[in-house]
Amino acid sequence: MCCTVAPAAASILVKEGSSGEAVRHVQELLIEQGFLEGEADGDCGPLTVAAIKKFQQSRGLTEDGVCGDGTYYYLSDGKTYEGAADEVERPRKKAKASHHEAAAIPSGRAMYVSASGYSAYDPGNSKHTASGTLVRHGVIAVDPNVIPLGTHVFIPGYGDAVAEDIGGSIHGQRIDVAFDTHEEALAFGRRDLEIIIVD
């Protein structure tokens, strides 16, 4: 079910040892919200990791001290990280906002996944999911041993989705994200994401 598009880096990934503008930006947000004291220096050390964990605890997220797309979505009040033009790992273009995207940010646990876009109009794909529903925006294909069918998830920049499909090449922490057109699926390509498992 996956398209053959080159892998892309996550939009944002701040963890212990990271440095640069993304770290500085996350630190500024943590300082503004009272989770970190001092100045934003652009280096993610133990104090920044502890501040990210405190923030994650306050929002009911997995407390891993890593700020990926999901944690950033909460930290920035629903925004997707755009990044600076001169960053070494350039983020992918922001996914198109959708009317399916929930107004309220859901709570749950964060999970890092490798994600690909797909649609019913990709060569060789069926118009129906493994659950018998139509392949459409709001559906993801999963490894049911990792994310059970019927699980609701939230994908920053995409919106709410339900695990309704499976695929022969989907194993472990890998998902396919459904779109309504082949062009949207190609534009999404393949990327690493932090998603929120709602239930």
* Per-residue buried b or exposed e for 79-94, using 16+ beta carbons within 10 Å of the residue's own CB: ebbebeeeeeeebbee
Residue 104: pLDDT band (50, 70, 90) is low
**pLDDT at position 165:** 95
Boundary residue ending a domain (94, 125, 151) = 94
Largest CA distance in the chain: 55
Q: Is residue 2 part of a domain?
A: no
- Same domain for 90 and 123, yes or no, is no
pLDDT in tens, 142-182: 999 999 999 999 998 898 999 999 988 899 999 999 999 99
Q: Are strands 7-8 and 109-119 parallel, antiparallel or unpaired?
A: unpaired
What average pLDDT is seen over the chain?
82
What is the pTM (predicted TM-score) of this model? Answer: 0.58
Ramachandran class of 102: left when φ > 0, alpha when ψ lies in -120 to 50, beta otherwise: beta
Residue 110: pLDDT band (50, 70, 90) is confident
188 pLDDT higher than 80 = yes
Q: Is residue 3 part of a domain?
A: no
- Same domain for 126 and 69, yes or no, is no
R_g of the chain computed on alpha carbons: 17
- Same domain for 53 and 111, yes or no, is no
Mean pLDDT of 57-63: 84
Residue 120: pLDDT band (50, 70, 90) is very high
Give the chain's domain count: 2
- Same domain for 145 and 70, yes or no, is no
- Same domain for 115 and 177, yes or no, is yes
CATH number of the domain that 134 lies in? Answer: 2.40.40.10
Boundary residue ending a domain (94, 115, 131) = 94
Q: Rounded to whole angstroms, how far apart are CA atoms 37 and 16?
A: 17
CATH number of the domain that 44 lies in? Answer: 1.10.101.10
- Same domain for 116 and 162, yes or no, is yes
Q: Is residue 183 part of a domain?
A: yes
Residue 101 CA from chain centroid, whole number: 13
Q: Which domain holds residue 63?
A: 8-94
Residue 93: pLDDT band (50, 70, 90) is very low
Boundary residue ending a domain (94, 115, 148) = 94
